Structure 1
């Protein structure tokens, strides 16, 4: 588990309906942060179906979901739950915060 927050981007770089990626400075876990109407959500940037980066997929900001381009698995960006096959396991959700003009996240898994 990482106690160290990782800088993802400045507040101005992540507008509503957009996403930005980074890597946890301690664990190396890939992180994708989403802005849904000003609310921030962070998930591990990896599909649980076939370990492919979610950030290369399509974000549906109205639905609040991301679709993996590999096989079409969709996940709720607010809580990481799988919305359809072929994925059945949720994507880990990470904490995210705004601080010092930036957006920060970290891998808080044990």
Structure 2
């Protein structure tokens, strides 16, 4: 707990002190003014110059042409996607059933 020093009003403890602060700098009335700061001028970025037409190095090695992709069996892809969808739905239904049973158990426990 903070206690007041002296017999003053309740809020006098929190008022700003009168007089100059203890760590005030010396008066600068007799000292010369600081030297002026030189103004810095930014001329902007350098101008861009377009490169000459043949500035790239010569290209000696040509890459091989792309190979054709192997053919796709669309019927097999559709069958695999269907079985994956069935498995996903099955896992989701089992998970939903487990959550439903747990919710019923928790709600019945809370009510009874």
TM-score interval for Structure 1 and Structure 2 normalised by the shorter chain: under 0.3
Higher helix share: 2
Question: Larger Rg: 1 or 2?
Answer: 2
Of the two structures, which has the highest relative contact order with CA contacts closer than 8 Å and spacing of 6 or more?
A: 1
Which has a greater percent of strand? 1
